[in-house]
Structure 1
Amino acid sequence: MKNKIIKNSITAIVFLITIAGLAQNKSSNTVSLDVYYAKIQSEKNPQIIDARGPEEFALNHINGAVNFNLESKDYAQRIAALDKSRPVFTYSIGAGRSVWLADDLLKKGFKEAYSLEGGIANWIGNGKPFYANSKSKLTVAEYNKIIADNKTVLVDIGSRYCAGCKIVKPVLETIRAEYGTNLKIVEIDLEDNPQVIADLKTVKVFPTLILYQNGKIVFKKDGAADLKKDVDVALAH
């Protein structure tokens, strides 16, 4: 029993060290959207890798991207097909899987590998060209009408594949239960509404929360930290 506890403890320590190492490497390969886009534009046939799952990729992705990640069964073969002498551009829903992939490519001898800060949210959220397999259910005109027709509107922009976005949902339900018809809550997800997210040109990460009062933005939050508190403070005035 004692040996088992020691073994588990060692495993946990190794895991934490590994995660810490990955976190330290983020700054070395994660770049801003402007830098990422400029580098892609400078390449004749850029090597772009979508490190998300195949279901996510099928719904939307950067034009010209191919789809695989560290867990793909044919990972070694896909890596072997790339040109190590040329830059590789990775992205994911945020900057998790893409950072690990870019880091692994550098370890395998690739000259350059860049992960996109903010991932697909940042790319589509700033109107860069992308593929989507369906039209948005909501248009910008309809979005603007909702803002104009309601005194107070809380907008939640995210994705069903985003872990942080899932944390927001119960908070929204608490807010909805407390404020009722005094607050209109609009939930916009990437899978159903990619074009409106692109047209708004205001999203850098998922989730993004925006509170409007009388058609004007009261606050815009990247992430859901203190969301309930911020809504309470805003509406108290």
Structure 2
Amino acid sequence: MSQFNLKRVTNNVTAIVLFFALGASAQNQNIFTLQLDSFSAKIKEQTKPQIIDARSPEEFAIDHINGSVNFNLETENYAKHTAQLDKTKPVFIYSIGTFRSGQLAKELLKNGFSEVHDLEGGIAAWIGGGKPYYFNSKNKLSLVEYQKVIADNKTVLVDIGSRYCGACKKVKPVLETIKAQYGENVKIVEIDLEENPQVIADLKAVKVFPTLILYQKGTIVFKKDGLGDLKKDVDLALAEK
């Protein structure tokens, strides 16, 4: 192959790669993973906001953002739901984290939706930030009762999450290990979204599931967003006391 032809082929390949890269970039620019305040503010800008809860119907029935509709990529009548949305207006999506909502966001963009917003931290961030929500049952624990537990015990480890949260399930065996090692010296309190959303809202400290908080004599020693090395952090904190 001549040097001229080789150069022309190279230029063509570069142009093709650039074309697809720019296309992907343009699509990604229409997905905005927003923090709570920005997500909420943009919803308020809309007369009739299009809010999608991308969790399961079971989760949605327990709690959800006011005004949201429920479907995801696994929904049987998915096409019917998307047909009821206005593609020219923003769509706001949330789940527990950003996995299911992120998948749905990408699919909507592929199908011609102009602007899609995904909530960072999902339903945990929304309720944890004190935003209005629907809940279909009575809370099992009040903030006053929560505060009494903290006051009545020297060391309290609080686990805040959801039974539908994959990362939250990984916390449970760690809690069992901590319980076996420290026994009654550490009071472990588990708070699930499905039973106690109002405590989560009242604490105004939850941005993601799971959230772990360690108290010593009523004072927060550490707060962890996500599991991390919980056992090590508890050991270090208690060794210093």
Q: Which residue of 1 aligns with 2:123?
A: 120
Residues 164 and 26 of structure 1: CA distance in aligned 2, closer, same or farther (over 3 Å):
farther
SS at match of 2:175: helix
Residues 160 and 26 of structure 1: CA distance in aligned 2, closer, same or farther (over 3 Å):
farther
Larger Rg: 2
> What letter corresponds to residue 42 of structure 1 in structure 2?
E
Residues 156 and 230 of structure 1: CA distance in aligned 2, closer, same or farther (over 3 Å):
same
Distance 1:146 1:204 in 2: 22
**Which whole-Å deviations, capped at 9, do the CAs of 1:123-168 have from their partners, x for residues lacking one?**
0011100000012100000000111110100000000000000000
Distance 1:178 1:25 in 2: 47
Residues 131 and 209 of structure 1: CA distance in aligned 2, closer, same or farther (over 3 Å):
same
Q: 2:88 aligns with which of 75, 85, 88?
A: 85
Q: Which residue of 2 aligns with 1:204?
A: 207
Q: Which residue of 2 aligns with 1:132?
A: 135
Distance 1:146 1:118 in 2: 27
Distance 1:70 1:46 in 2: 20
Distance 1:92 1:145 in 2: 32
Whether the 8 Å contact between 1:29 and 1:99 is mirrored in structure 2 is: no
State which drifts further: 27-36 or 44-53. Answer: 27-36
Q: Gaps (5+ residues) in structure 2?
A: 1-23
Deviation at 1:25, TM superposition (A): 5.0
Deviation at 1:77, TM superposition (A): 1.3
The TM-score normalised by the length of structure 2 is 0.87
The TM-score normalised by the length of structure 1 is 0.88
Q: Which residue of 1 aligns with 2:222?
A: 219
SS at match of 2:170: helix
2:100 corresponds to 1:97: yes
> What letter corresponds to residue 108 of structure 2 in structure 1?
L
Distance 1:210 1:89 in 2: 30
Distance 1:136 1:26 in 2: 40
> What letter corresponds to residue 119 of structure 1 in structure 2?
G
Whether the 8 Å contact between 1:60 and 1:133 is mirrored in structure 2 is: yes
**Which whole-Å deviations, capped at 9, do the CAs of 1:96-131 have from their partners, x for residues lacking one?**
110111111112111111010000000001110000
**Which whole-Å deviations, capped at 9, do the CAs of 1:7-31 have from their partners, x for residues lacking one?**
xxxxxxxxxxxxxx9xx95994311
Residues 193 and 27 of structure 1: CA distance in aligned 2, closer, same or farther (over 3 Å):
farther
SS at match of 1:217: strand
Runs in 1 of length 4+ with deviation above 6 angstroms?
A: none
Distance 1:77 1:66 in 2: 12
Whether the 8 Å contact between 1:61 and 1:132 is mirrored in structure 2 is: yes
Give the number of equivalent residue pairs.
215
Deviation at 1:76, TM superposition (A): 1.0
Whether the 8 Å contact between 1:148 and 1:214 is mirrored in structure 2 is: yes
Q: Gaps (5+ residues) in structure 1?
A: 1-20
Distance 2:33 2:73 in 1: 17
**Equivalent residues in 2 for 1:4-15 (5 A)?**
none
Distance 1:53 1:99 in 2: 15
2:226 corresponds to 1:191: no
State which drifts further: 61-70 or 25-34. Answer: 25-34
Distance 2:37 2:108 in 1: 22
SS at match of 1:197: helix
2:49 corresponds to 1:41: no
